[in-house]
Chain A
């Protein structure tokens, strides 16, 4: 069963706009991660936020985590055509396993 559910399932924006994706999960976690997958490729790790953190930044990425609502958001600022990809959240618990959501497909129009 999926732990994370991303919202929206698909998002289309213009270059330069911001893109926001949300992830909800069901059980307690140690960390939450976001991954990007370009078409036909493997997943690439973007950012990790631990359960005791509320916000984290990396370049044009901003991640927030609200453990009381069991939710996270990924904001990509000033999007580029190269950001077109699928984005997945994944939750890490007490084991070394991750549970992935179903993903958000982001299309950035030039």
Chain B
């Protein structure tokens, strides 16, 4: 069965370190998205991609970057982790402008 996976599921890091969160989907979807979820804010879009070599900034992109070298993967990099980036991160993919399929999430703590 097709699926979307994220790794690691939990990560603790220190302020200033570079961190990369992985997202891998086997749906063969062109569209992929990264969100962060914080209490009181719901899900906020960080970056998204509509296909290989395409990346776009979302609502809260500062301090984050993505690259899309193939259809299956969209890694999210925190260039220099800050305590404000402590959050739960979700990756999602979609085929068209409708249903998004979500990964299980990565809980990131920045100390």
Q: Which residues of A contact B (CB under 8 A)?
A: 1-2, 30-31, 33, 35, 40-45, 48, 88, 90, 92-93, 95-103
How far is A95 from B33 in the complex, measured between Cα atoms in Å? 13
For B, the interface residue count at a CB cutoff of 8 angstroms equals 26
Query: In terms of DSSP, what is the predominant structure of the interface of chain B?
Result: strand
Asked whether, in the complex, the Cβ of B59 is within 8 Å of the Cβ of A1, the reply is yes
B52-88 contacts to A, CB under 8 A, are 58-59
Given contacts A31-B97, A96-B50, A97-B48, contact A43 B102 (CB under 8 A): yes
Cβ 8 A contact of B31, one of A30, A44, A96, A103: A96
Task: Report A-chain residues with C-beta under 8 Å of the C-beta of B104.
Answer: 41-42
How far is A48 from B100 in the complex, measured between Cα atoms in Å? 11
How far is A103 from B45 in the complex, measured between Cα atoms in Å? 15
Asked whether, in the complex, the Cβ of B102 is within 8 Å of the Cβ of A42, the reply is yes
Q: Which residue of B31, B40, B50, B98 has the most chain A CB atoms within 10 A of its CB atom?
A: B98
Task: Report A-chain residues with C-beta under 8 Å of the C-beta of B42.
Answer: 2, 88, 100-103
